[in-house]
Amino acid sequence: MPTLTTRDGVEIHYKDWGSGRPVVFIHGWPLSADAWDDQLKLAADHGFRAIAHDRRGHGHSEQPWHGYDFDTFADDLNDLITALELRDAVLVAHSMGGGELARYIGRHGTGRISKVVLLSAIPPLMIKTDHNPEGVPAEVFETIKNGILAERSQFWKDFAPAFFGANRPGNKVTQGNQDAYWLLAMQQSVKAGVDCVTAFAQTEFTEDLKKFDIPTLIIHGDDDQIVPIDATARKAAKIIPNAVLKVYEGGSHGIANVPGEKERFNQDLLAFLQS
């Protein structure tokens, strides 16, 4: 994997497959660029340049002791887009990556990008508050952080079924889905794991979403057990001008990987890229 060095000296690894119009995939927590391999190949096979980076503290990227906040993540993304001299790019973001995408637009605008996809994404706000009663209670995030600190290997094994919907009757989740999740999660540093929970729980992206002025496709499962659709996608679709929301009935959080859901997402993604 090639690397770049961010403005604050952190080495970021990324994949760069194919050629053509660039499509940048932004992974969720606690994963890495590897989680996008199916979609990277799909895009590259259809004449696009498919790019995905490992967020700092994740995958093969450097694990600094600082910078696990969305301003920094957005600036890292900007460093990547600038270093590769990308123009007319499509950004595709999953889960926490949706916050990175939103904050990138909030801080750096849309001059280099032409359209975006938010998949199971966290904006505008995850945590439950008086003005976001549909959100996730604060104690849930504390339980997640405590689980990582207590015994993260077992925690990731226990967390995977809800991530993919393997705890639902009739699901098509494979053991491979869950094993791959554990493997990628174990590559994340403990520091990144805990700090990112605080960041994606508490950061609000409403003002960032208001700055979207390009075609936006939002895809979210209505059985997402990790990022509840009523607190996120349904609200984001009302904030982003002219956004299109596609709800996957019974869809999990791990839509891009679960058999059945993955094929539907790939079809919708490719249609949007080619439109």
Residues marked active site are found at 95, 224, 253
Give the separation between CA 270 and CA 275, rounded to whole angstroms.
8
Q: What is the DSSP letter of 129?
A: B
Q: How far is CA 77 from the centre of its chain?
A: 13
CA nearest 172: which of 265, 254, 268?
254
**Hey, is 257 helix, strand or coil?**
coil
Amino acid type, 228: P
Contacts of 195 (CB under 8 A, 6+ apart): 57, 68, 69
Give the separation between CA 11 and CA 54, rounded to whole angstroms.
10
Farthest CA pair distance, the chain: 48
Give the separation between CA 210 and CA 243, rounded to whole angstroms.
11
Give the separation between CA 101 and CA 218, rounded to whole angstroms.
13
7 burial level (CB within 10 Å; 0-12, 13-18, 19+): exposed
Q: For residue 142, give both structure tokens.
A: 């504390």
